[in-house]
């Protein structure tokens, strides 16, 4: 069995202070007027030497494709992001708290071999179409395509073996203030029922502004729906199995509307105001404040105010005890809030209990190929699909 590297070889004790990184403008998180986090000279030299590491993954029965590897991206402030090229999965994100103590804040499996079994999509890139497509069917130019129905009567997250179960080809690069892992997967025409040979690229960049940037591109030789997202589960208090829920995390969503859904989680087509309802996070509110009023918990797509074109602030989350803060910026029109409703403490849930993690999945709207009133998700030959999502960390 293969175990996760111990604390990514970083000594959190060497941290003196993890300072708050502010945002100059909502549309560009890279401009900040606040001071950078401070660390000791010794640890600064250490981080410069360890900005990108890679290690082979050895399994008894590896999947077909390129070499399986694990990658560690680090910045000068003590943040480490661990990624494997199976499913382009983020397996851990280690972030200091207000006292400089680093913890993993991203839910995942302790044994990396468990990522190769069915599970809750911990940290994975979901595609070719993230979220749900009603009845597993859609039509393009009069031709109907049938997909797997792997979520009740509907198609979810790309099907039986979506992008989360594929081996991606890696390429790494380093700059003075950032580290990037580029991952490429070529999805063949007809794979999981989708038309067109699609080349998808995901670039993870960790920079010294404490931003984890995820940049997506894709091209296809046939018209096809594309909707990619990162399915990271977060617990800013520290992601330990059976280690506490996220209901006291304080959430702000810059979203005045959301998409109501039917009994199978398919949008009704309405964009409904959140005001005066338990769906309203337009002001800072604990995630658990009204969750009992939402049947099954939150699993809803919110409409980002002024979203869908430029990088826009969609969400902010504060964890009171650790002081950790996470801001989420995206170019997408929607963000799916999911509160780990189906985590049950089992081995397939990584030992995590219900509500011990939350997701903020930046994406286009669910079932867009069947809903003409939603922004289109059809990628035509000659076009380039582009998307950027940024997770920015700080403390207060």
Q: What is the model's pLDDT at position 28?
A: 54
Identify the CA nearest to 332 among candidates 362, 293, 288, 353: 362
- Rounded CA-CA distance 367/322 in Å is 38
**Annotated catalytic residue, options 69, 94, 155, 231:** 231
Residue 1 has pLDDT above 80, yes or no: no
Condensed to tens digits (0 to 9), the pLDDT of residues 99-137 reads 999 999 999 999 999 999 999 999 999 999 999 999 999
Q: What is the pTM of this model?
A: 0.88
- Rounded CA-CA distance 328/164 in Å is 22
Q: What is the model's pLDDT at position 61?
A: 78
> Max CA-CA distance within the chain?
64
Confidence of residue 156 (pLDDT cuts 50, 70, 90): very high
Confidence of residue 29 (pLDDT cuts 50, 70, 90): low
Q: In the predicted model, what is the mean pLDDT of the chain?
A: 89
- Rounded CA-CA distance 350/1 in Å is 15
**Annotated catalytic residue, options 69, 191, 192, 361:** 361
Identify the CA nearest to 335 among candidates 259, 224, 236, 237: 259
320 vs 60, residue with greater confidence: 320
Q: Lowest-confidence range among 119-128, 237-246, 346-355?
A: 237-246
Name the class of domain 6-395. Answer: mainly beta
Which residues contact residue 56 at a Cβ distance below 8 angstroms, ignoring those fewer than 6 apart? Answer: 67, 68, 69, 70
Query: In this prediction, what percent of the chain has a pLDDT beyond 90?
Result: 82
| Active-site annotation holds for 361 | yes
Q: Lowest-confidence range among 11-25, 213-227, 332-346?
A: 11-25
């Amino acid at each position: 069995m293969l175990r996760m590297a111990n604390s990514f070889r970083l000594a959190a004790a060497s941290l003196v202070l993890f300072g708050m990184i502010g945002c100059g403008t909502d549309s560009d998180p890279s401009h900040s007027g606040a001071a950078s986090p401070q660390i000791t000279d010794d640890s600064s030299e250490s981080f410069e030497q360890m900005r990108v590491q890679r290690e082979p993954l050895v399994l008894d029965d590896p999947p077909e494709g390129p070499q399986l590897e694990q990658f560690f991206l680090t910045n000068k402030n003590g943040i480490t992001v661990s990624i494997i090229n199976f499913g382009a999965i983020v397996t851990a994100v280690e972030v200091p708290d207000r006292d400089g103590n680093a913890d993993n804040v991203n839910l995942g499996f302790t044994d990396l071999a468990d990522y190769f079994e069915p599970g809750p999509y911990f940290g994975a890139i979901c595609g070719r179409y993230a979220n749900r497509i009603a009845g597993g069917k859609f039509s393009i130019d009069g031709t109907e395509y049938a997909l797997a129905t792997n979520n009740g009567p509907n198609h979810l997250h790309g099907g039986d073996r979506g992008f989360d179960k594929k081996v991606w080809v890696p390429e790494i690069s380093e700059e003075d203030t950032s580290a990037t892992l580029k991952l490429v997967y070529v999805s063949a025409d007809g794979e999981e029922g989708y038309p067109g040979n699609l080349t998808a690229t995901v670039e993870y960049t960790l920079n010294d502004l404490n931003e984890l940037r995820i940049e997506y591109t894709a091209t296809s030789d046939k018209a096809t729906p594309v909707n990619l997202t990162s399915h990271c589960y977060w617990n800013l208090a520290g992601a330990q199995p059976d280690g506490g829920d996220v209901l006291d995390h304080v959430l702000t969503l810059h979203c005045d509307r959301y998409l109501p859904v039917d009994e199978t989680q398919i949008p009704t087509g309405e964009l409904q105001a959140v005001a005066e309802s338990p769906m309203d996070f337009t002001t800072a509110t604990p995630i658990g404040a009204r969750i009992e009023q939402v049947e099954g918990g939150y699993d809803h797509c919110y409409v980002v105010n002024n979203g869908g074109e430029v990088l826009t602030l969609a969400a902010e989350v504060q964890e009171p005890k650790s002081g950790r803060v996470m801001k989420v910026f995206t170019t997408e029109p929607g963000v799916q809030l999911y509160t780990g409703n189906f985590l049950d403490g089992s081995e397939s849930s990584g030992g995590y209990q219900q509500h011990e993690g939350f997701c903020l999945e930046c994406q286009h709207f669910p079932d867009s190929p069947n809903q003409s009133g939603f922004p289109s998700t059809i990628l035509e030959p000659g076009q380039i699909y582009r998307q950027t999502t940024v997770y920015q960390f700080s403390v207060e």
